[in-house]
Amino acid sequence: MQDNVVVLGVTPSTALIFNEEFPSLKKVNVEPYNIRYSHTVPLSMKLLLDASRIFRVIKKERLQLQKIIKEHQIDVVISDNRFGMYEKSVHCIYITHQLNIQAGLFSEIANKVHHHFIKQFNEVWIPDFEEDSKSLAGKLSRNIIHQNVKYIGTLSRLSMIDKSENQYDYLCLLSGPEPLRNDLEKALIKKANQSDKRICFVRGTTKELKSFINKNVTVLDMPPAKELSQLILNSATIVCRSGYSTLMDLQHLQKKNYIFVPTPGQDEQEYLAKYWNEKFEAKVVQQKI
């Protein structure tokens, strides 16, 4: 494994974190999906309305992958939820925690499309535990139709470090799509400015912060993995979205106190918040839009 050459495909939104975490690896730019979110329209409906553009991106990334394979002599492709990253001439692996997509009224058609693309790959890796009792994704990751499925356990770039006394009462991890990320940021900062608790915001963006901040509030944009690990471990309660990557980070760091604010209209996060509420006693607060 040590003799392998790894090439990372990055988009404008992922380049910063990959450059920080893997500065020495080769990187190539790939077409972003640029999924568009809305204050009022559910994500499933937005995806349906945007389907023709997304399929064009998938077709384009297949052509791009062929060039990348030839230029870099690729033997294995690992696709993180990218439908077009497969090519018959090499071994292709698809990573997803959603074998059963939750999309409200559109769940059936969404799963048919998803399963059509999954079947093109040689293997499917599920970042979860196969046993129902340990599963973090619940019915999202349960396999009922696919062969060559492997449960690989959870993944996280964060690391367990020595825990000290709680530095913050609340750590607010602001992630996810705009404009809903910014809306949540404004609402939480307003609440924080009215509190005397020690509160830290990790904004997940480098955009300028225009809100007034009280002296009891600390604001960070995008701390490196080691610092973020320390912040999570040294905070009493985590306030965050119920996105699956965040859930895996919390599980990896063995955090028990968290408050989830699922992204409005995103059925997957709403399901995960409810699932974790029932299984792990997570507190859930809905974001008003």
Q: Is 208 exposed, middle or buried (0-12, 13-18, 19+ CB in 10 A)?
A: exposed
Task: Give domain status of residue 8, yes or no.
Answer: no
Overall residue count recorded for the chain in this entry: 289
Task: Give domain status of residue 156, yes or no.
Answer: no
**Residue in 101, 97, 83 with CA at minimum distance from that of residue 31:** 83
Question: Total structural domains in the chain?
Answer: 2
The rounded distance, in Å, linking the Cα atoms of 120 and 179 is 34
Which of 98, 121, 151 finishes a domain?
151
Task: Give domain status of residue 48, yes or no.
Answer: yes
The string of pLDDT tens digits covering residues 45-77 is: 767 777 888 889 999 999 999 999 999 999 999
Task: Give domain status of residue 162, yes or no.
Answer: no
Task: Give domain status of residue 273, yes or no.
Answer: yes
Task: Give domain status of residue 26, yes or no.
Answer: no
Same domain, 174 and 121: no
**Residue in 28, 73, 35 with CA at minimum distance from that of residue 53:** 35
Same domain, 179 and 234: yes
Beta bridge partners of 93: 78, 123
Task: Give domain status of residue 179, yes or no.
Answer: yes
Same domain, 118 and 215: no
Which residue range is the domain that position 44 belongs to?
31-151
Give per-residue burial for 163-192: e unless 16+ CB within 10 Å, then b.
Answer: eeeeebebbbbbbbbeebbbebbeebbeeb
pTM for the predicted model, two decimal places: 0.90
Same domain, 38 and 144: yes
Residue 21: CA count within 13 A, CB half-sphere: 17
5-15 mean pLDDT: 90
pLDDT for residue 42: 66
